[in-house]
Amino acid sequence: MRRVMWAAEPEAIPMHVVRPVRESDLGALIALAGATGGGLTTLPPDGEFLDDRIHESLRAFSPRVRKPGGEYYLFVLEDTTTGDVVGTSGIASRVGGFEPFYSYEIRRERYVHRPLRIEKEIATLHLKEAHRGPSEVCSLFLRADRRRDGHGRLLSIARFHFIGAFRRRFTEMLIAELRGYVDQTGRSPFWEAVGRPFFEFDFYRADVLSGLGEKEFIADLMPDHPIYIPLLPPEVQAVIGRVHHDTEPALALLRAEGFSATDEVDIFDAGPLVRADVASLRTVRLAQTAVVREIRGEPPAERGHLLANGRLDFRACLGAVERVRDGVAITAQEAAALEVRIGDPVTFSPLA
């Protein structure tokens, strides 16, 4: 760990930092996975799986990685005052591979009968299987008591800083599969109408099995033929492409970053799949890198920037930068969070 040098250590104020997951985070990760309430496929509440996921992430951060090969990067949000891990977010460098990536593609089929002057377009769901897909941002979850003060934005956008710093590790296309709608009782209308008749078990078991990589049941049991959306009950049609109420802020943030809708939805809860070109992401476009020239003791009046150290031992936080001479000034607290010192580069982008 790099030592941070300053003349006098200021009084600590609350700070949260995004960093790569560690082996010691397993207990906290299990607790977070248990608090998701299901529906987060890449973070199932299984201790053995999560332990494997941590080690998979540790391997992903190896400097030997040169191109996207299905690596999985897992980050956590740490409260630096208490040391508590209060959230997670991840990046899959490429979906598919040995474990295929499944989705429903919405296609519109045209039917015409000219003698009766009937012309109709019918929306249908087609099972899609991808073995060499794009990069995906995933595993975003923030503990309910921390959903304020920009922590969710930090946890989400920090991933774009990492992708921007290490472009060769990811594809040019980035997707996000968002959690679909469930009612107040935790029931998924889409699953009940489309999934349960084929699987004979509940939505959460299917979701956990998929998260654990046991996807053979999807290929064996999912219908090969298209599903005609107008034949589904109106309340089911209404939730196709609709997000879970807890996921609405995440969708708004992704849209602000440049993500747009696709014709694909999740196979279990019909949550939307959105996508963006990495080069067009707002954070990637606006990110700047400068050398730290001053470290100041006073806290920032307003944390209007997201700062990152741009290294493989990645760290990001909310803060403020001030241009000075041929570099920037940051606070001692930000320097400690990022593990940088005078002479080191930092990358930053505006939050608003």
Exactly one of 16, 151, 161, 244 is catalytic; name it. Answer: 244
Other beta carbons within 10 angstroms of residue 99's beta carbon come to: 14
b/e map 309-319, b = 16+ CB within 10 Å = bbbeebbbbbb
- Dihedral sign for Cα 270, 272, 278, 284, please: negative
Q: 306, 286 in Cβ contact below 8 A?
A: no
Active site residue 244: yes
The number of angstroms, rounded, from the C-alpha of 222 to the middle of its chain's C-alpha atoms is 26
Residues facing 77 on adjacent strands: 18, 87
Residues facing 126 on adjacent strands: 105
Residues facing 273 on adjacent strands: 177
First-to-last C-alpha distance (Å) of the chain: 32
Query: Using CA atoms, how far apart are residues 352 and 349, in angstroms rounded to an integer?
Result: 9
Sequential DSSP letters for 43-84: S-S-HHHHHHHHHHHHHHT-TT--S-SS-EEEEEEEETTT--
- Return the axis-axis angle of helices 47-60 and 26-35, rounded to nearest 10°: 120
Q: Tokens 């979701």 appear where?
A: 207
**255 by DSSP, 3-state: which?**
helix
Beta strands 135-142; 173-177: pairing state = parallel
Q: Tokens 């594809």 appear where?
A: 171
**250 by DSSP, 3-state: which?**
helix
Catalytic residues: 244
